[in-house]
Amino acid sequence: MLAYYDTEVVEDIIIEAISLDFYMLLNYIWAFAKNKHEGSQDEFVTYFELFHSIKYVKTADDKNIEFYVTQVVNWLVETDDNILIALLEHDFDQIALDHIGHYTIHINTDLLLYCLKNGNEEFLKGALKLSAFDKLIFK
């Protein structure tokens, strides 16, 4: 239905899908770009907002929050939203580092500057060891 019909997914559906562990539904919502804010034509629910919602809904399962976030990262859905920065904003440095190879398109100057500005040392050290950043970024 998400793929072939003009559907509008409201934030309540996203919250409900998180609480019921329907991550496949969330995957389809993001894959078919149905993650728009209610009533908006071009404003999307970001990965930052999704991770925030996961942390909010899954507060009782603190140990499993990383598991749920990793499920989202494993979707490998290409969007304009920088998933690596969204992970770093929520202190999921290790998850971002573990999946850095899948999101090379998002390894850019913005990511480097974000890490330097916000002190994501664990991610930055790991990314530099992997030579993830293009050498031209440092010029």
pLDDT averaged per 10 residues in sequence order, the chain, 139 residues: 78 92 94 85 90 89 84 93 96 96 93 95 94 77
Q: Which of 79, 108, 125 is the last residue of a domain?
A: 79
User: How many angstroms separate the CA atoms of 79 and 19, rounded?
Assistant: 24
Q: Give the three-class secondary structure for 20.
A: coil
Q: Which of 68, 93, 96 is nearest to 83 (CA)?
A: 96
Contact 86, 51 (CB under 8 A): yes
Q: Which of 50, 79, 108 is the last residue of a domain?
A: 79
27-46, pLDDT tens digit by residue? 999 999 888 888 777 889 99
Domain span at 94: 82-139
Q: Which of 79, 103, 126 is the last residue of a domain?
A: 79
Asked if 102 and 49 sit in the same domain, the reply is no
Domains in the chain, number:
2
